[in-house]
Amino acid sequence: MDNAVNNLEAFWMPFTANRQFKAAPRMFVAAKDMYYTTAEGRQVIDATAGLWCVNAGHARPRIVEAVQKQVEELDYAPAFQMGHPRVFEAASRISALMPGDLDHVFFANSGSEAVDSALKIAIAYHRARGEGTRTRLIGRERGYHGVGFGGISVGGIVKNRMFFGSLLTGVDHLRDTHDPERNAFTRGLPEYGAERADDLERLVNLHDASTIAAVIVEPVAGSTGVLMPPKGYLQRLREICDKHGILLIFDEVITGFGRLGSAFASDYFGVQPDMITFAKGVTNGVVPMGGVGVRKHIYDAFMTGPENMIELFHGYTYSGHPLAAAAALATLDTYKEEGLFERAAELSGYWEDAVHALKGLPHVIDLRNLGLIAGIELEPIPDKPTARAFDAFLKCYEKGLLIRTTGDIIAMSPPLIISKEQIDQIFDILSGVIKTLD
Ligand SMILES: Cc1ncc(COP(=O)(O)O)c(C=O)c1O
């Protein structure tokens, strides 16, 4: 048994090249604020907020203490037909933060579950209103909505879909918003491409609005490699949804909780969706939690039958888990007290300058930024897609910088506590590494 700690075989790692990793493992053993500590005792600056989730930085005392206290006080309470105070408080606080009349929250445990919940609510909502023919779901090419069958069906990342059979039926996709010919090296929102929202009109013409329940998009597409919505695109999508009675779902699993310098991307863009899916930053990544914010009229549509009847046959054993609720409350307190969303907004100009200073380095074919997000697109090595960016990832890690890569795109999204000096540190290492790439 002693040997078991040194045996890496049993753990089938997610979204990881298992054999490559196990031959040369990269292990984090501790984290504090902006830095991870590796098993060898090296400090690695976190330019990805873990996986886009540790928005307040690592091991923040208030959150740690809240979770410790909660586990001693109430470790678990059944999620169905029972409650506990903190989950109600968490829902109230989150809905108060959400724009407009998004004033009810359904809890899940991850972004994937949040997305599945939102898609199910959308279909059931139309049925509850007597429009049961509206079952079709519209996603977008290159979209990432987690890995449940709902999420990969509306998602548009080929590798996440191609191995898993026929997926959900009755799904269609808008084109993605990437247009490097016209928009490469844009600072902030791209000028061109709002007309791609009109794809929804095309799909309405093809399927008829009476068959379409909802459209789901990420306001900024993160996991596919940071694609920005062109100016006016999201507004146009909203208008077309309104015209045809289609629900608009913003998947804010990445953009929620300050990433763009506002509570949600919906605030940043001034576009009110009918539902917002969230996860990650809601608990600062400390305890898994996801959820869906829904507008009042959606919730109300379910509250019609006999009062002793369950209104929505959906939920998870750990929906609103006490530890997650405690972590969420302490996280929201931390964001507020430290003004972290405002801080992200203030730093976004400095961040943008640092990103675009990479222009002209070898292999850099596009640079994209918004809030505290960056996408750095590298030219792929012919016949070896992903190899160049992964090489950058390994070299950065050796030099004390954690970045994330997808395809040949480097994505960065640091904790919102980052300082200007730490932004400089990140880009010093990164530019040095890019210069050494084959
Ligand atoms: C927009 C979006 N939706 C959903 C998910 C899935 O979240 P999870 O990995 O918690 O299931 C992610 C994860 O990166 C995401 O970026």
Cα–Cα dist 404/225, whole Å: 9
Inform me whether the pLDDT recorded for 237 exceeds 90: yes
Q: Which residue has the tokens 């959400």?
A: 98
Ligand 1 pocket check for 285: Cβ under 6 Å: no
Q: What is residue 63's predicted lDDT score, i.e. its pLDDT?
A: 98
Whether 134 lines ligand 1, by a CB cut-off of 6 Å, is: no
DSSP track, 64-115: HHHHHHHHHH-S---SSS---HHHHHHHHHHHHHSSTTEEEEEEESSHHHHH
Q: Is the minimum distance from the CB of 281 to ligand 1 under 6 angstroms?
A: no
- Give the distance (Å) from ligand 1 centre to CA of residue 253: 6
Q: Is the CB of 53 under 6 A from ligand 1?
A: no
Tell whether ligand 1 has an atom less than 6 A from the beta carbon of residue 253. yes
223 lines ligand 1 (CB under 6 A): yes
CA distance 156 to 146: 11
Give tens-digit pLDDT for 390-435: 999 999 999 999 999 999 999 999 999 999 999 999 999 999 999 9
117 and 316 in contact (C-beta within 8 Å)?
no
Q: From atom 3 of ligand 1, which residue's Cα is the shortest distance away?
A: 145
Model confidence at 291, pLDDT cuts 50, 70, 90, reads very high
Determine whether the shortest distance from the Cβ of 406 to ligand 1 is under 6 A: no
Residue 288 alpha carbon, nearest atom of ligand 1? 10
- Provide φ and ψ at 213, rounded to 5°: -90, -50
Q: Is residue 51 scored above 80 in pLDDT?
A: yes
What is the best residue among 52, 54, 117, 144 to mutate for testing ligand 1's pocket, by most ligand atoms within 8 Å of CB? 144
Measured between alpha carbons, how far is 371 from 268 in angstroms, rounded to an integer?
A: 10
Give the span between the Cα atoms of 9 and 24, in whole angstroms: 13
Q: Which domains are delineated in the chain?
A: 2-56+339-436 (3.90.1150.10), 64-337 (3.40.640.10)
Q: Which atom of ligand 1 is nearest to the CA of 252?
A: 1
Residue found by looking up tokens 């001034």 in the block = 270
Residue 219 beta carbon below 6 angstroms from any ligand 1 atom: no
CA angle 168, 201, 194 (to 5 degrees): 105
Q: How many CA atoms lie within 13 A of 44 on its CB side?
A: 28
Determine if ligand 1 sits within 6 Å of the CB of residue 222: yes
User: What separation in angstroms does the CA of 151 have from each of 220, 366, 410?
Assistant: 16, 28, 23
Residue 144 near ligand 1, beta carbon < 6 Å:
yes
The reply to whether the predicted model has a pTM over 0.95 is yes
pLDDT at 5: 64
Q: Does pLDDT of 67 surpass 50? A: yes
Residue 262 Cβ < 6 Å to ligand 1: no
* 135: Cβ contacts below 8 Å, ≥ 6 apart: 123, 126, 170, 211, 213
CA of 115 to the centre of ligand 1 (A): 8
Q: Is the CB of 152 under 6 A from ligand 1?
A: no
* Amino acid identity at 105: V
Partnered with residue 277 across adjacent β-strands are 251, 292
% of the chain surpassing 70 pLDDT: 99
Q: Which helix (H) or strand (E) holds 224?
A: none
Distance, CA of 328 to CA of 307 (rounded, Å): 30
**Whether the CB of 48 sits within 6 Å of ligand 1:** no
Distance 335 CA to ligand 1 centre (A): 21
Q: What is the pLDDT of residues 91-129, one digit of tens each?
A: 999 999 999 999 999 999 999 999 999 999 999 999 999
Pocket test for ligand 1, best of 160, 280, 406 (most atoms within 8 A of CB): 280
CA-closest candidate to residue 358, choices 367, 347, 369: 367
251 Cβ closer than 6 Å to some ligand 1 atom: yes
Sign of the dihedral through C-alpha 397, 400, 404, 408: negative
- Ligand 1 centroid–CA 53 distance in Å is 10
SS3 279: coil
Mean pLDDT across the chain:
97
User: Cα separation of 121 and 116, whole Å?
Assistant: 9
Ligand 1 center to 424 CA (angstroms): 28
Q: Which atom of ligand 1 is nearest to the CA of 280?
A: 10
Which pLDDT does position 16 carry in this prediction? 97
Q: Answer yes or no: is the C-beta of 279 below 6 A from any ligand 1 atom.
A: yes
112 lines ligand 1 (CB under 6 A): yes
Which has the closest alpha carbon to 276: 243, 253, 307? 253
Which pLDDT tens digit goes with each residue over 307-342? 999 999 999 999 999 999 999 999 999 999 999 999
